[in-house]
Amino acid sequence: MNARRAMPDVAIAGGGMIGAACALALARRGFDVTLIEAREPAPWHAEDREDLRVIALAPSSAKLLEELGVWQTVRNARVSPYSRMQVWDAMSGAQLDFDAASEGRAELGWIVENKLLLWTLWQALDAAGVRLVCPGEVRDFETRPDRVGLTLGAGESLSARLLVIADGAHSTLRGKTGIRTRGRDYAQRAVVAHVATERPHEAAAWQRFLPGGPIALLPLSDGRSSIVWTLPDAEAQRVLAMDDAAFRDAVGFATDFRLGRIIEATPRASFPLRLQLAQDYATARCVLLGDAAHAVHPLAGQGANLGLRDVAELVSVLSEAREADRDFTAMHVLQRYARRRRSADTLDALSFDALARVFAMRAPPLVALRGLGMRAVNASRPLKRKLVVHAAGR
C-alpha cells in the first residue's frame, strides 16, 4: 500500500458482506473509498456444494444489490426463491402461514449462500474504483479535526475523512471509539447443515418453535434444505457429536417430519448466539455498521438484512449531505444515520428477543395463550400483511 496516495473520503475497516456492500455502494455514488480487510474471500465456484452459511435475503436487500449491479449475477449463479413460509409451535400446535401470492408478490425472499454473495461483491469492487488494502488491518486510529488517522500493520498508515467500522460483532475498533454495548448471551448455539428430505421443500421456508429454540428448513436450489437449529449449548454439543443416522432422525423429529424423513445430511457446524446492541452508532468521524453495531437472534433470519439496511441508510445520508455541498463527516450528519438505524435495529432486535422469550415459555397457561395469539394473527390478513411488509424492509 502506498501511504502517500491522496486521502480517501471513506476508509472501511472490514471487508465482509456488509463492509464490501458499503464500499461498492459509496463508490457507485462517487465517493473515494478504501476497503481494508485481512484476507480475500474464498472463491465461489458453481461446481462447489452450497455453503453451509446461508441468508434469507429480503426484498429490500435484493433492491440494494440490484442498485449495486450485482443482484442479477447472484441470481444467475445460484439462489433459491421462496414463495411460502409456515411457522408452527410444537407445544400449542398453532401455526402461521405466509404466501407471497396472497400479498401480490412473486417471492417472500431468496435463500442465498454467504460465500456466493460475498465473492460477487468483491468481484465488483475494482471496476467501481474501490481501493483494496488486503491483507490489511486497522490496529488503531486517531481522530483529528480534519481527518481520522489509521495505524495499519507493518508500520503503515492511512488517513481518511471518515472511518466506517464494519469488523464484526467482536469489533476491536468499536471498543476504541468508547461506544459501549448492551445485550445478553443466549447460552445457545445455532447448528447448521444441509439435508435431503423425503418430500420436496416446495419453494417454502419451514420453521418450528421448540422449547429449546426454533429449527428452520430453508429451501436450496438443488432441492435440499438448509437447517438452522437453535439449541441450548449443551444440547448443541450433543447434536454435533451424533453420528449421521442419529442426526437425521433428530432433525426429522424436530421438524415433525414436515418434509418426510431426512435421507441425507452434510457435516454440521455451529456458532454461538448473542444479543448485542451498540449504545450509539457514531462518534467523531466514525460510524458503526452491521454486526459491529448489532447482533440479533437468528429466529427471524434478519441479521444480514439489517446490516444491508444500515448500508442503504448510511449511503443515503452521506450522499444527501455531499450533494447539498455540506460536510458529510459533520457530527450532525453522522448522527442522522445513527438515530435512524439505531432506532430501527433496536426495535427489531428487541422484538426478536421477545419472541425468543415467549416461545421458550413452557407453563401450560402461557402456552395456551401463545397459541391463541398465533391463531388470531393467522386469521387476520391485515396483521399478516404488516408482518410481511416489515420483513420485506419497507
What are 169-182's pLDDT values in tens digits? 999 999 999 999 99
Determine the pLDDT at residue 348: 87
Mean of pLDDT over the chain? 92
Instruction: Please tell me which residue, 348 or 286, carries the higher pLDDT value.
Output: 286
- Name the residue with higher pLDDT: 103 or 198: 198
Closest by CA position to 341, among listed 317, 321, 320? 317
The pLDDT of residue 4 is 42
For residue 208, what are the contacts with CB-CB under 8 A and spacing of at least 6?
A: 87, 88, 89, 90, 214, 215, 254, 255, 256, 258
Parse the chain into domains and list their residue ranges. Answer: 10-42+120-182+275-357
pTM (2 decimals)?
Answer: 0.92
CA distance 151 to 155: 7
End-to-end CA distance of the chain: 41
Residue 355 pLDDT grade (very low, low, confident, very high; cuts 50, 70, 90): confident
pLDDT tens, residue by residue, 295-306 = 998 876 678 999
Kindly report the CATH number that applies to the domain delimited by 10-42+120-182+275-357. 3.50.50.60
Please check whether residue 190 is in contact with residue 228, taking contact to mean a CB–CB distance below 8 angstroms.
yes
Asked if residue 319 has pLDDT above 90, the reply is yes
pLDDT of residue 1: 40
Kindly report, residue by residue over 264-290, the tens digit of the pLDDT. 999 999 999 999 999 999 999 999 999
